[in-house]
């Protein structure tokens, strides 16, 4: 088993951050754990708010309770499957009755080129800013996923360097695993009358924009620069976000900044000035005004209200 490396980003920061062989490309970038064994081994860590630089799939096959992602607790029931994006705050409750599977993978394992990136964006399971971070699996889907897990474990059980094409095969199994879940999710949404998330060219452009925002929201990147990176005009980008999300591009960037500020205020002991600096603000007073403008309360008031 590959163990996550624990580090603290600051002496006063209480959000633990975990990595999966970060900057060690010769070590596994994709691992599978037994859920019960992992929770037992890392119980102190996983029941406290934390983030990680890899993507995580948590399949609760049995057990009930709650799983916490950002500011909400979500119900855990049999065959619930959660998708935690990198840098997203989450934690387990203290229940010990869970059985299931944990899958961890780094972005560089999955995305090797434009094709993989576009598939990953189409597969919106990890796009948790606009939907719940979990779904319930039907029994037939679960049976199919178990077949892929058996193949994955068999491949992981050997010496990767001795197996020709092992990484490519593991990536293909992971893609197939995600496709099965996405198909069931799309079907469930159609049956329930929810808006279908079938990805056309416009939605792909939107997903690319949201992906860029996630990478650059602390850097002061302008809407014009985002549009240039997408090779479209600012007007086209604005029309796109307004049509599909009912928001202009600036609002989306602002919401991402506020979300991260709220995460840090809730889960860390960083002071307001440190949070402002981390989010790219040189002036703390401007950050306070910015936060209050978008939430109607100051950062200090927000922190006090959730303690």
CA atoms within 13 A on the CB side of 170: 26
pLDDT tens, position by position, 175-212: 999 999 999 988 887 766 555 555 678 888 888 899 89
Phi, psi of 14 (to 5 degrees): -100, 5
The whole-model pTM stands at 0.76
For residue 4, give the nearest of 95, 97, 102, 126 by alpha carbon.
Answer: 102
pLDDT recorded at residue 27: 79
CA atoms within 13 A on the CB side of 84: 25
| Domains detected in the chain | 5-192 (2.60.120), 201-305 (1.10.10.60)
- Hey, is 94 helix, strand or coil? coil
Low-confidence ranges of the chain (pLDDT < 50): 1-13
What residues pair up with 58 in beta bridges, in sequence order? 82, 102
DSSP β-ladder status, 50-52 and 16-19:
parallel
């Amino acid at each position: 088993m590959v163990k996550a490396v624990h580090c603290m980003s600051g002496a006063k920061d209480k959000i633990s951050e975990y990595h999966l062989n970060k900057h060690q490309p010769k070590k596994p970038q994709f691992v599978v754990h037994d859920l019960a064994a992992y929770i037992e081994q890392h119980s102190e860590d996983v029941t406290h708010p934390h983030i990680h630089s890899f993507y995580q799939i948590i399949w609760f096959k049995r057990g009930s309770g709650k799983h916490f992602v950002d500011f909400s607790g979500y119900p855990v029931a049999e065959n619930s499957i959660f998708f935690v994006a990198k840098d997203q705050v989450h934690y387990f409750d203290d229940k010990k009755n869970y059985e299931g599977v944990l899958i961890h993978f780094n972005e560089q394992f999955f995305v090797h080129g434009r094709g993989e990136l576009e598939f990953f964006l189409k597969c919106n399971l990890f796009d948790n800013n606009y939907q719940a971070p979990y779904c319930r699996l039907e029994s037939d889907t679960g049976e199919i996923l178990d077949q892929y897990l058996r193949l994955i474990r068999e491949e992981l059980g050997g010496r990767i360097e001795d197996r020709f094409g092992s990484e490519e095969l593991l990536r293909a199994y992971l893609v197939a695993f995600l496709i099965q879940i996405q198909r069931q999710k799309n079907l469930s949404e159609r049956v329930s009358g929810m808006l279908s998330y079938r990805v056309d060219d416009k939605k792909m452009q939107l997903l690319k924009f949201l992906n860029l925002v996630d990478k650059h929201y602390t850097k002061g990147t302008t809407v014009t620069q985002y549009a240039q990176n997408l090779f479209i005009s600012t007007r086209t980008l604005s029309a796109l976000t307004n049509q599909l999300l009912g928001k202009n591009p600036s609002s989306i960037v602002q919401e991402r900044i506020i979300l991260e500020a709220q995460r840090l205020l809730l889960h860390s002991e960083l002071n307001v000035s440190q949070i402002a600096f981390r989010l790219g603000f040189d002036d703390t007073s401007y950050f306070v005004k910015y936060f209050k403008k978008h939430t109607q309360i100051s950062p200090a008031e927000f922190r006090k209200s959730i303690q």
